[in-house]
Amino acid sequence: MKPESLMMSYGYKPELSEGAVKCPIFQTSTFVFKSAEEGKAFFEVAYGLRSQKEGEELGLIYSRINNPDLEILENRLTLWDEAEDCAVFESGMAAITTVLLEFLKPGDLLLISNPLYGGSDHFIKKVLPQFGITIAQFKVGQSKEDIIDLVQKTGKADRLSLIYIETPANPTNDLIDIGASKEIAKYFSKPDKEVYLTVDNTYMGPIWQHPLKHGADLVLYSATKYIGGHSDVIAGACLGSKPLMKRVKTLRTFLGNMASPHTGWLLLRSLETLKVRMDAQAFNAQKVAEFLNQHPSVEKVYYLGNLTAENNPVQYKIRKKQCLTNGGMISFDVKGGEKEAFKVLNALKLIKLAVSLGSTESLAEHPYTMTHADVDPTLKKEFSITEKMIRLSIGVEYYEDIIQDIKQALDTIKE
Ligand SMILES: Cc1ncc(COP(=O)(O)O)c(C=O)c1O
């Protein structure tokens, strides 16, 4: 069965919860053991003191380690990405920082793509160096050979441990080739030390791009976005193979940044409509992009559907290879600068002026001064994140109403 058919039932047994058709919120910090022997056995498995026996499952211990809402949610999330295991977190940043801390040690080299979401950018460039991590950076459009050369020039190629990419990049929709990034990881891997590839797949959600299928070792989500999808929860997720996820989950246990039972329950509810919501958002985004493409006050539109073999053969090829749709995110430059962009943002009525993305309601924001305020201004200029850019997250409203709202807001530029 397809994941969308399983989102209402997979992994939940009503007979264990008084027949409730929906998984209740297991609002409990701890779980009663049937016997001391059982408690001992659960801890042996949880702390890796011995391997699991044939058919033995990790018993419920304590909600920082496991909880039914989180376990069912994690099992359901694995279906979309066809991952072996998943860990959910109390925010996307919690998922991202836990992975970075687990797979990097002092003295290591981290290779990243640019641009990145502002929060990830801050943690990687401003916090990780305090722990002795060196950062090597590549940009959209650089070839595999250029990137290998760049890593070698750091003089620390033998300490490369992790490659971290975000594709499509927030807010420009620039694409990084996941398969080529894996080849770089393999190039620097040694028999005793594998270089892992991590992909922030937030912009495409679990429906529109499956990085694990293209060679990624770990996929990360701000589940606040499409997965949650209603602007009412902050959460994160990481998916990958069982051995890597065991490492991620162990660090999560000790950092204590797992999602709460209530967050887990909210996400279970959201997952039931993930496919229909995202289908509607991709459809609406296409219509909005078509409108923006021909509007006289719009200078440039950053939308995956605008890529063609003629105007950008490299990006178009990556789009065809790894993205299943054109997504639900559009950025555009207005003719003018901050003044004109702010005029448009302030005039929007249906579309809310707020950061975040992937929700049922359409949102608009100004990356230069908001989500990416903290990013180095030179980098921002280089990646076309300028004062004239507006980022739109397209929701599930009737598309003509979204377009009408943008139209009346763009009209205010001339007033
Ligand atoms: C691409 C991307 N990654 C990660 C994050 C961080 O997620 P959270 O806000 O859930 O911590 C965001 C948030 O905007 C994002 O856009």
Q: Which atom of ligand 1 is nearest to the CA of 235?
A: 10
Of all residues in the chain, what percent carry a pLDDT higher than 90? Answer: 92
Mutate to test the pocket of ligand 1, among 172, 199, 222, 226 (most ligand atoms within 8 A of CB): 222
- pLDDT above 90 (res 366): yes
Chain segment 180-190, per-residue pLDDT in tens: 999 999 999 99
Mutate to test the pocket of ligand 1, among 120, 202, 257 (most ligand atoms within 8 A of CB): 202
Mean pLDDT of all residues belonging to the chain: 96
Distance CA 36, CA 345 (A): 61
Q: How confident is the model at residue 265 (pLDDT cuts 50, 70, 90)?
A: very high
333 close to 392: Cβ distance less than 8 angstroms? no
- What residue spans of 143-241 are helical by DSSP H? 144-153, 178-188, 205-208
Q: Which atom of ligand 1 is nearest to the CA of 170?
A: 1
Distance 68 CA to ligand 1 centre (A): 25
Query: What residue's CA is closest to ligand 1, atom 8?
Result: 92
Distance 196 CA to ligand 1 centre (A): 21
- pLDDT above 90 (res 415): no
Query: What residue's CA is closest to ligand 1, atom 6?
Result: 92
Cβ neighbours of residue 254 closer than 8 Å, sequence gap 6 or more: none
Distance 401 CA to ligand 1 centre (A): 27
- pLDDT above 90 (res 50): no
Distance CA 99, CA 104 (A): 8
Q: So what's the pLDDT on residue 342?
A: 98
Distance CA 228, CA 241 (A): 23
Question: SS3 of 229, please?
Answer: coil
Of all residues in the chain, what percent carry a pLDDT higher than 70? Answer: 100
Distance CA 248, CA 100 (A): 10
Q: Which atom of ligand 1 is nearest to the CA of 94?
A: 11
- pLDDT above 90 (res 132): yes
Mutate to test the pocket of ligand 1, among 93, 220, 371, 392 (most ligand atoms within 8 A of CB): 93
- pLDDT above 90 (res 210): yes
Q: So what's the pLDDT on residue 115?
A: 87
- pLDDT above 90 (res 48): no
Distance 151 CA to ligand 1 centre (A): 27
Distance 153 CA to ligand 1 centre (A): 31
Distance 117 CA to ligand 1 centre (A): 7
Q: Which atom of ligand 1 is nearest to the CA of 225?
A: 10
Q: So what's the pLDDT on residue 167?
A: 97
Chain segment 300-326, per-residue pLDDT in tens: 999 999 999 999 999 999 999 999 999
Distance 116 CA to ligand 1 centre (A): 10
- What residues are in contact with ligand 1 under a 6 Å CB criterion? 91-93, 117, 119-120, 166, 170, 200, 202-203, 222, 224, 234, 236, 356
Query: What residue's CA is closest to ligand 1, atom 10?
Result: 92
**Average pLDDT of 4-25?**
97
Chain segment 99-127, per-residue pLDDT in tens: 999 999 999 999 999 988 889 999 999 99
Chain segment 389-407, per-residue pLDDT in tens: 999 999 999 999 999 999 9
Distance CA 238, CA 223 (A): 10
The pTM (predicted TM-score) of the whole model is: 0.96
